[in-house]
Structure 1
Amino acid sequence: MEKVEQSIIAPGSNVDFEDTKVEVSKGLERLQQKLETIFLQKGIVLLLIGFLLGRALILSHLTPFALPFFASVYLLRRRKAPIVLIGLTAGGLTVSLGNAVLIFISSLVFLVSFKLLSRFQKDEIKSLPYFVLATSFFSKCAFLYIQQSFQFTIYNGLMAGVEASLTFILTLIFMQSIPLLSLKKRKRSLKIEEVVSLIIMLASVLTGTIGWKFYGLSAEHVLSRYLVLVFSFVGGATVGSTVGVVTGLIFSLANVSSFYQMSLLAFSGLLGGLLKEGKRAGTAIGLFIATLLIGMYGETNTPLDVNIYETAIAIVLLFLTPINLISQLAKHIPGTNEHTQEQQQYMRKIRDITVHRVEQFSSVFQALSNSFSQYDQWREGDHEESDFDYILSNVTEKTCQTCFKKEKCWTANFDKTYEIMKTAMQEMEDGNGNLSPKLRRDLDKHCSRVQKVEEAIFQEVSFLHANKKLKQQVQESRKLVAEQLLGVSEVMGNFAKEIQRERENHQKQEEMILDALQDFGLDIEQVEIYSLEEGNVDIDMTLPTVNGHGESEKIIAPLLSDILGETIIVQMEEQSPFPNGFNYVTFRSAKAFTIDTGIAHAAKGGGLISGDSFSTIELGARKYAIAISDGMGNGERAHHESNETLRLLQKILQSGIEEKVAIKSINSILSLRTPDEIFSTLDLAMIDLQDASAKFLKIGSTPSFVKRGDQVLKIESSNLPMGILQEFDVDVVSTQLKAGDLLIMMSDGIFEGPKHVENYDLWMKRKIKELETEDPQQIADLIMEEVIRTRSGSIEDDMTIVVANIKHNTPKWSAIPFGKKALIS
């Protein structure tokens, strides 16, 4: 029974505990928001800072903090200026009545002068430090003149000048620090200058606590050490030591007897930052060690036990500080993990927004493409009936409307008349303007104006043919636009996917490769891995300058090849111009296959301008394209057409658009841009350099051949030349090539060039099979020479032949067995 009761009560108690926990966290958040509202928005923080700065002194009698702080608040947060003035005056009263009067009077002088001269100044921010400088100097001189019974010495003038110079500098510092105290204008990250300015302002505020003691312990010592602890824990040794030096320096200027504090705070910031990996306890240990060392061996005016007590209180304050507050502060300090994560989050947000926008553009282009395509689809089925009705109305308007028998034809015999007219239009359209004898006899019996009706039908049918041709051109233009928009949509979609891929964190693999190479005896300064994807390895290394014996290519690349399990080569090496500098080397994956090409071409009759054009294009890291285009005819016009075809092909393929879409786009452009019957063929081979797979797209071109040992394979396709048909399907022939294959592509001047040959296929296969060399250039020259010999040395047509030899990519240096392939996983 007790167990049952416990099982019933326990879940409820857990739920109550979770609800209580949630309520407590929400209550803390509400309390934090209320405190931020009270202290930041209501100006309580500025009031407290003003009070402490009002009683802060430099060299025991200079007060350079009050006027710069009031002027900065007046310029940046004008509504809070009265509260700040009250705080500064109250702080000055704790020092002396004269100090309070000086602060109040100098602030009023600044307000009056700044207001009177505001119409003459263009930039208030730039002019503010100069107003503060002049106001401070003249106010201090007048105050000293009155205080010393209307006497003025050179020493007083020098002190006034020193204080005025300090106010000029402090104004610049406070102008950067005050916006950080605003709830509405918090920045996501701080610049180094802003961090230093904030530290100077905080240290200046702490000087207002000089002289405060409780139980013999100095408040300024406790608070300064607490400040150094917080920044050491947040920013590390660099920030901690900087805070220590700045705080100690300002304390030393305020009180010469506190000069030893600078060494104590700087040393504490350094040790605390170095030990920050031990969390708050490690930072606290750093301060404790610095206190013991400086207290025992330094020249201090404070007993060691008092220093230890002050340090202990600062450590307790550090542990009482909420971790959320420390994390919020760390997000603003450059170099911290929190700041890095914040920046990465911001970059991810920007990346996601960019990807979203690119995807939106991609969807817009795809929608436009679908809109053009759907318009043509639903328009196709409505033409025939509407065209017939339109022609019939025009014919009857010209003939039947003025005929005396129209009532008999269209009222009494509507069906028969309609059928005869429809048949006449169909025969006129199909028979090139002629009617069959039977239909002519029927039309003579039925109609009294046969000749006029026949002429009207012929005229309307002619108009119909012209309209259809125009509509077909418009429809082809729409299809071209639709295909281009679809291609752009696909390219933008792929681009969005590439943007979305984040750079992987390869820190572990970088350290493994670095250790492995150093264990081998190589001196490596730095390794940066950008990609370990198979076939797409990308590694950068920084090496000390060596004697130039090719260590990167001969040793490091072979070692990486064995470690990563694929061939790695040196893509680029940047040599240092200095003898003791560093070399920067980029290692990339080697291509599995390479292609050697040989090309032979000749113009008709041995001329200079050939109608054939050829191109070899390397597309990215994997694809290699070989293309031959033959313009119709010979000479300059044919050369222009074929060259333009290859130029458009190269531009479109390099943009990332798929091959079939690219060829259809080029065909549409060639067929629409000119009314002349100028055609061109295209023979395109796309070879993948990683697996040697090949795609052949032949548009009106001659067959290609692959020589594999004693075999000769023929590759052909039946597509008309580009520019003849406005719409056609591209047949793609896929073939798997192998290492050692010879790919032979040629124009019709080579394939159909041999004289007295009935079967060009058999003749070309026999000549290729008889070849004894594997050099691409020699093969191209031999085949062209053989064709020209059959013509007794004459060149009857433009000739072009491209021979490609597919080879395994054998690295110059083989992999060095290292036995640590499992390092990278």
Structure 2
Amino acid sequence: MRSLTVMKGVNLQFLWFKRLMVKMEKLIVQSGIFVFAIGLLLGRAVILNEMSPFAIPFFASILLLKREYAKVTFFGVILGASFYSLENSLFVATGAMILLLLNKMIERRSKDLLKTLPILVLISGFSSRVLFMAFEQSMVTTEFIVAAVESSLSLLLAMIFLQSIPLLTLKPLKRTLRNEEIVCFIILLASILTGTIGWTVYDMSLENLFARYIVMLLAFIGGAAIGATVGVVIGLILSLADVASLSQMSLLAFSGLLGGLLKEGKKFGVGIGLIVGTLLIGMYGGKTLTSVYPALLESLVAFLLFLITPQSAIKKIARYIPGTNEHSKEQQQYLKKLRDVTANRVEQFSSLFQTLSNSFTQAPSLNEDGKDNSEIDYYLSRVTEKSCQTCFKKEACWVNHFDKTYDFMKQMMHNYEKTSTNFTFQREWDKHCVKSKKVKELIQYELSFYEANVKLRQKVAESQRLVADQLLGVSQVMGNFAKEIQREREHHAFQEDQIVESLYGLGLEIDTIDIYSLESGQADIEMTLSSCSGHGEGEKIIAPLLSDILKETIIVKKEEHAHYPGGLCTLMFGSAKAYVVETGFANAAKGGAFVSGDSYSTIELSSGKYAIAISDGMGNGERAHFESSDTLQLLAKILQSGIDETVAIKSVNSVLSLRTKDDIFSTLDLSMIDLQNASAKFLKIASTPSFIKRGDQVIMIESSNLPIGILQEFDVEVVSEQLKAGDLLIMMSDGIYEGANAENKEMWMKRKIRELKTEDPQEVADLILEEVIRTRHGDIQDDMTVVVANIQHNLPKWKTIPFYSSNLKRKKAQ
């Protein structure tokens, strides 16, 4: 308990210290102290012993980007310049004043100050230097050349500082830094370090110490490329300020390269790279260890500062540098957030469609006969309004004997023809009502309006149920889509290493590999090969190897080859289905015409199902062909969207029934085969039976529904059947089934199917069509279409390749 209390106290102290540091950072930045210090160093910075190109560009950039700090910066650069010399201070002050004057003049006319500011810096620096030359009476050609070079450098630095200064605000950025921005920021840091030239602590040069610290920090974050680049840039700028520091460029560049290469050894690895680089460059030219001691001491102190740098600060910087793990995590978090937002919106739409579907399924209150009570009451009220309202026995009938009167009138309404011939009922009604004849006539007259209203309401209710089913189907599709969006890419480091090393052992080099899923039956792998000869490596080598590693049959789903020799090729692998379907078809138009009113289609859906459909348009010729083909196109689009097949058929029926006013309709015969377990669903809309041949056994599948497009609402009867490997599924239009010249067409068709000696689906289709035509002596009396599907186990084409690395085996065992 005591230890927990101590740990809690330590954590509170750490949080308090962290909050204090954050407040101090904000105070330093917001008060302008930070900008003032930078201006002080840049004002003091001089290159080639006489050029001061840093102060005016920095002041100009602050004037444009952070105008509230312009005064602080103005005094900072002038004070810094005075540390170097009074002449330099006057030069910077004059240039800053000229810049302010020019900026005031241009500010009202130019809208894009970012483009005009560097030009103003050029003019200000050159004008200030020329004024000093005139004052000192030293207007010679060399001085003009120096002034031109100095002002040109100021122009370049102004463009660099405009990109770098926003990075000094200590505010978290929402984007990744570009390579140009990183280089510009390094130039700004090197320029600031130039202002420390000449400052020493215990014979250690501050510019060398901080330069090596920055090189180590960025080499540790970005690797060898970033480390070497930073070393070259900082070393070059420092050598311009002090020729004696020319060797520092080699030292920093080499140390950054070594440190980046040794970054896997953490901070100590980067530090060793700096120490080794210092010793090698320092002892270059036969120098003794004693002469290397000052540089070695600076490197050791810089290494010590690097060791005490908080890891949180390093990670904060690494988030903005491309190629780092922190940057990758930041990008993944952003993509995850974007994916979650998108999935949330899709779920909201799914919920909306679900709510709309529920609202359309609310049915009116019905009585025991299935009639709408409100409609009956409205009908009877219209009858009584024209008869009972003016009757003197109104109160006696509708107050004292309400139930009896209501039952009489409702019985006459529902069974008018029977009650008209029922003399017993007529006598009782005549006794009860003094206007019995008039009421009967009104009931007969209003009955036609009542029946019309009932039919209209039924159609509206049917349309509502259809819309509700369609909205429910859309809601389910969008819900499934939202779940797929939220599925994160899984990490399979061991499998990736295993695949890469195994393929490398076979002589194949992988450029990239992405494993999205390894679930059984849903494997999804994409890889890019460095070189591809196009001789089927994916199908013959990689897929069998993946099959052995993942313990399931893997096939190539898609290949993308480069259009030039030796180029990259992308291969996409996935799980093979347990069953495959091979189809064959045969058709003939009525009278041997070219256009048949029958249409057929086979579709392999992404859900792992195989759909076979036949549609027969009413009649023959182009119009019938248009109706049947349009039916199958609509069905294919809806099925591919992921909507349930029953809802899909109802949707197609609704579209066709609303689209045409002509008496042209279509039949539909649809079978859905699940390729994982070979279960099949048959949905038949006014279509002929289908047959399954299993050895010598023939199974007939049939159901009855009206043709599609006649009614706006109908119940789809679904017949389920479990298929087996080796089964032949035979589907046909009525031209085949009814076309045979036989007394019992069902028995004739079963006999012909049973007598088939081949299992090739195309041969079976041709034989059945030929047998039917032969029975009519070559006369084709109707459009004929037959589709045959052969269901077989999906056997791999190539044997698996067992290839494992002993290193990976040991890794897995550990």
Task: Report TM bin, short chain.
Answer: over 0.9
Cα contact 1:681–1:700 (8 A) shared by 2? yes
1:74 to 63, 88, 96: 63
Residue-by-residue CA offset, 1:437-457 (whole Å, 9 max, x unaligned): 444444445555555433322
Distance 2:428 2:532 in 1: 103
Q: Which residue matches 2:606?
A: 620
Distance 1:539 1:37 in 2: 48
For the pair 1:350 / 2:335, whether they are aligned, the reply is no
Q: Give the direction of change, closer, same or farther, for the CA distance of 1:69–1:732 in structure 2 (3 Å limit).
A: same
Quick one: which amino acid aligns to residue 481 of structure 2?
F
Q: For 1:271, what is the secondary structure of its paired residue? A: helix
Quick one: which amino acid aligns to residue 81 of structure 1?
A
Q: Kindly report which structure 2 residues correspond to 1:66-465, keeping only aligned pairs within 5 A, or say none.
A: 66-146=55-135, 148-149=136-137, 151-184=138-171, 186-298=173-285, 303-373=291-361, 375-376=362-363, 384-403=372-391, 417-428=405-416, 431=417, 436-447=422-433, 449-465=435-451
Residue-by-residue CA offset, 1:367-414 (whole Å, 9 max, x unaligned): 1111211x2255789964322332233223323444566567657766
Q: Give the direction of change, closer, same or farther, for the CA distance of 1:388–1:239 in structure 2 (3 Å limit).
A: same
For residue 787 of structure 1, report the CA deviation from its aligned partner. 1.8
Q: CA RMSD in A?
A: 2.8
For the pair 1:42 / 2:31, whether they are aligned, the reply is yes
Q: Give the direction of change, closer, same or farther, for the CA distance of 1:635–1:524 in structure 2 (3 Å limit).
A: closer
TM-score by length of 2: 0.93
Q: Which residue matches 1:568?
A: 554
Distance 1:544 1:410 in 2: 93
For residue 30 of structure 1, report the CA deviation from its aligned partner. 1.7
Distance 1:791 1:520 in 2: 63
Cα contact 1:362–1:490 (8 A) shared by 2? yes
Quick one: which amino acid aligns to residue 288 of structure 1?
I
Q: For 1:712, what is the secondary structure of its paired residue? A: strand
For residue 116 of structure 1, report the CA deviation from its aligned partner. 1.8
Please, which moves more after superposition, 619-628 or 185-194?
Answer: 185-194
Q: Which residue matches 2:498?
A: 512
For residue 257 of structure 1, report the CA deviation from its aligned partner. 1.5
Distance 1:715 1:746 in 2: 12
Q: Give the direction of change, closer, same or farther, for the CA distance of 1:238–1:545 in structure 2 (3 Å limit).
A: closer
Q: Give the direction of change, closer, same or farther, for the CA distance of 1:282–1:396 in structure 2 (3 Å limit).
A: same
Q: Which residue matches 1:604?
A: 590
For residue 65 of structure 1, report the CA deviation from its aligned partner. 0.6
Quick one: which amino acid aligns to residue 190 of structure 1?
L
For residue 561 of structure 1, report the CA deviation from its aligned partner. 3.2
Distance 2:551 2:723 in 1: 24
Cα contact 1:41–1:183 (8 A) shared by 2? no
Residue-by-residue CA offset, 1:30-54 (whole Å, 9 max, x unaligned): 2112111112222211111000000
1:788 to 758, 769, 773: 773
2:726 to 724, 732, 740: 740
1:802 to 787, 795, 800: 787
Q: Which residue matches 2:747?
A: 762
Distance 1:522 1:19 in 2: 56
For residue 615 of structure 1, report the CA deviation from its aligned partner. 1.0
Please, which moves more after superposition, 240-249 or 775-784?
Answer: 775-784
Quick one: which amino acid aligns to residue 658 of structure 1?
D
Quick one: which amino acid aligns to residue 196 of structure 2?
T
Q: Which residue matches 1:4?
A: none
Distance 1:415 1:741 in 2: 65
Q: For 2:5, what is the secondary structure of its paired residue? A: helix
Cα contact 1:612–1:639 (8 A) shared by 2? yes
Cα contact 2:580–2:792 (8 A) shared by 1? yes
Cα contact 2:420–2:426 (8 A) shared by 1? no
Provide the identity percentage: 57
Quick one: which amino acid aligns to residue 358 of structure 1?
V
Q: Give the direction of change, closer, same or farther, for the CA distance of 1:606–1:433 in structure 2 (3 Å limit).
A: farther
Q: Which residue matches 1:8?
A: none
For residue 88 of structure 1, report the CA deviation from its aligned partner. 0.7
Q: 5+ unaligned residues in a row in structure 2: which ranges?
A: none
Q: Which residue matches 1:495?
A: 481
Q: For 1:729, what is the secondary structure of its paired residue? A: coil
Q: Give the direction of change, closer, same or farther, for the CA distance of 1:748–1:434 in structure 2 (3 Å limit).
A: farther
Q: Give the direction of change, closer, same or farther, for the CA distance of 1:626–1:165 in structure 2 (3 Å limit).
A: same
Q: Give the direction of change, closer, same or farther, for the CA distance of 1:380–1:606 in structure 2 (3 Å limit).
A: farther
Cα contact 2:608–2:675 (8 A) shared by 1? yes
Q: Give the direction of change, closer, same or farther, for the CA distance of 1:810–1:174 in structure 2 (3 Å limit).
A: same
Distance 2:587 2:409 in 1: 61
Cα contact 2:534–2:561 (8 A) shared by 1? no
Please, which moves more after superposition, 312-321 or 691-700?
Answer: 691-700
Q: For 2:108, what is the secondary structure of its paired residue? A: helix
Please, which moves more after superposition, 582-591 or 194-203?
Answer: 582-591
Quick one: which amino acid aligns to residue 370 of structure 1?
N
Cα contact 2:532–2:561 (8 A) shared by 1? no
TM-score by length of 1: 0.92
Cα contact 1:48–1:87 (8 A) shared by 2? yes
For residue 744 of structure 1, report the CA deviation from its aligned partner. 0.5
Q: 5+ unaligned residues in a row in structure 1: which ranges?
A: 1-10
Distance 1:131 1:800 in 2: 83
For residue 291 of structure 1, report the CA deviation from its aligned partner. 0.7
Distance 1:735 1:58 in 2: 89
Distance 1:558 1:413 in 2: 87
Distance 1:767 1:591 in 2: 32
Distance 1:676 1:380 in 2: 36
For residue 686 of structure 1, report the CA deviation from its aligned partner. 1.2
Residue-by-residue CA offset, 1:762-801 (whole Å, 9 max, x unaligned): 2111110111222222222221222222233322332211
Q: Which residue matches 2:44?
A: 55
For residue 266 of structure 1, report the CA deviation from its aligned partner. 0.5
Distance 1:136 1:105 in 2: 9
Distance 1:255 1:35 in 2: 34
Residue-by-residue CA offset, 1:484-530 (whole Å, 9 max, x unaligned): 11111111111111111111223332221222233345555554444
Cα contact 2:419–2:425 (8 A) shared by 1? no
For residue 572 of structure 1, report the CA deviation from its aligned partner. 4.3
For residue 619 of structure 1, report the CA deviation from its aligned partner. 1.4
Q: For 1:367, what is the secondary structure of its paired residue? A: helix
Q: Give the direction of change, closer, same or farther, for the CA distance of 1:180–1:523 in structure 2 (3 Å limit).
A: closer
Q: Which residue matches 1:659?
A: 645
Residue-by-residue CA offset, 1:622-643 (whole Å, 9 max, x unaligned): 3221101123344444333322
For residue 595 of structure 1, report the CA deviation from its aligned partner. 2.3
Cα contact 2:193–2:211 (8 A) shared by 1? yes
Distance 2:396 2:274 in 1: 119
Quick one: which amino acid aligns to residue 511 of structure 1?
D
Report how many residues are paired: 808
For residue 188 of structure 1, report the CA deviation from its aligned partner. 4.6
